[in-house]
Amino acid sequence: MAELNEIIITRAIIDRYHAKITGNLDVDVAIVGAGPSGLVAGYHLAQKGYRVTIFERKLSVGGGIWGGGMLFNEIVVQDEARRILEEFGVRVNRYEENYYTADAIETVSLLAARAIQKGVTILNGITVEDVVMRPNRVIGLVILWSAVEIAGLHVDPLAIRAKYIVDATGHDTEVVKVVHKKVPGRLMTPTGNIEGEKSMWSEEAEKLTLENTREVFPGLFVAGMAANATFGGPRMGPIFGGMLLSGEKVAHLIDERLKQ
């Protein structure tokens, strides 16, 4: 076995991470949240050749997939979304007509692996705590180590710039909340405010997730559960088709804009 030097190991990590983060300071699309909608959106945008960064607050990616429903680690998707899982190489099992299941761990692993291999950079352990604004447009994100936030240390954050931002933070819809707080009443929702998530209704919620996947403020799109929380759709429970389709849709909408 060759001799190992702790300082080279340390330098290798710092050098490589430094290159990774400086290469992601000014990107085409910054996605907040590495749940199902964020990972699928990132994959499709990277496939189209855009520079994409996903910021994830936790160490682990996958958001709400891991525990399936109530920690039973299987997820359900309906017919329309089955092809997306298969495209990522996830094995899907028919349960009955229009209901398919997949192993939650296999789903997270393949969504993340394929997104990274397409060129998405995922920066985990980083919390997006604010946005960078120019009058009437979101142009970037304010980021801080999640560990600093958890420790409650008084440390200033840093900033990154992106042509478009996607709020894929799930139920908490954190980026939209920040924008709404700064410029109340100016969101592209019926009331101009965050409409709020409604109680569980799987069928309606799955349809609305797709409809609600759109721009909510200039430069800022919503995807996944954040779309329903912003535009007032119900929650859907542990069915994930709408999340996957929403990721695909937001990638398509942003591609259309970037091509203009």
170 binds ligand 48F (CB under 6 A): yes
| Residue from the set 37, 107, 189, 212 that interacts with ligand 48F by CB under 6 A | 37
68 binds ligand 48F (CB under 6 A): no
Question: What whole-number distance in Å separates Cα of residue 133 and Cα of residue 122?
Answer: 23
**Is residue 155 marked as binding?**
yes
- Total residue count of the chain as it appears in this document: 260
Q: How many residues bind ligand 48F (CB under 6 A)?
A: 30
Question: What whole-number distance in Å separates Cα of residue 215 and Cα of residue 228?
Answer: 13
| Residue from the set 48, 58, 186, 252 that interacts with ligand 48F by CB under 6 A | 58
165 binds ligand 48F (CB under 6 A): no
Question: Which CB atom, from 45 or from 236, has the smaller least distance to ligand 48F?
Answer: 236
From 4-12, 21-29, 49-57, 90-98, span contacting ligand 48F (CB under 6 A): 49-57
**Which residues, numbered 15-34, are part of the site for ligand 48F (CB under 6 A)?**
32-34
What are the DSSP calls for 195-231, one per residue?
Answer: --PBSP-HHHHHHHHHHT-EEEETTEEE-THHHHHHH
Q: Which two tokens stand for residue 13?
A: 């990590």
| Residue from the set 29, 226, 253, 254 that interacts with ligand 48F by CB under 6 A | 226
Min dist CB 108 to ligand 48F, Å, is 10
Burial class (CB in 10 A: 0-12, 13-18, 19+), 197: buried
| Residue from the set 51, 57, 82, 180 that interacts with ligand 48F by CB under 6 A | 57
Q: Which two tokens stand for residue 84?
A: 């997306």
112 binds ligand 48F (CB under 6 A): no
Question: What whole-number distance in Å separates Cα of residue 218 and Cα of residue 184?
Answer: 14
173 binds ligand 48F (CB under 6 A): no
Burial class (CB in 10 A: 0-12, 13-18, 19+), 12: exposed
Looking up tokens 């709404």 gives 180
Min dist CB 1 to ligand 48F, Å, is 38
| Residue from the set 92, 160, 236, 253 that interacts with ligand 48F by CB under 6 A | 236
From 14-22, 77-85, 106-114, 220-228, span contacting ligand 48F (CB under 6 A): 220-228
| Residue from the set 53, 127, 189, 212 that interacts with ligand 48F by CB under 6 A | 127
From 1-9, 62-70, 82-90, 188-196, span contacting ligand 48F (CB under 6 A): 62-70
Question: Which CB atom, from 37 or from 212, has the smaller least distance to ligand 48F?
Answer: 37
| C-alpha dist (Å) from residue 25 to 43, 126, 212 | 19, 14, 29
- 254 within 8 A of 29, measured Cβ to Cβ: yes
Question: What whole-number distance in Å separates Cα of residue 45 and Cα of residue 40?
Answer: 9
